[in-house]
Structure 1
Amino acid sequence: MKIKQIIYFILIIMGALIMGYGPRFVLKEYALAMGVVFIMFGAYKTSTSWKEPEEKSKEL
């Protein structure tokens, strides 16, 4: 597994933790917004890293 994929997975987990435990430290709305941002960024970067290079897909 690549290091970048591990970092993106950690971002997703961190977003979930912020959504769960964030309201104890900041307003609930801010915690939910920050958690969603982290989850969506991690999910986006993870999904774009799964894409095959174009050269391999053209040969098939």
Structure 2
Amino acid sequence: MDINRVKQILSSSADIEVKYQGESIWIDKLNEDGTTVTVNLRGPLEEQTTVPISELVEE
């Protein structure tokens, strides 16, 4: 994925399916470095982590 698509997803009101390493995630915010995002893993724990934009996959 690229930074422009991340910005589109963040500004959209739609529920867009995005995965990180095969896990469904919710993009929380674009980080200041422009190469990573803070995400929440979907599921019972809703763990928050920082991941590289390049490793996100839109389903």
User: If the length of structure 1 is used for normalisation, what is the TM-score?
Assistant: 0.27
Choose between structure 1 and 2: higher strand proportion.
Answer: 2
> Which has the larger Rg?
1
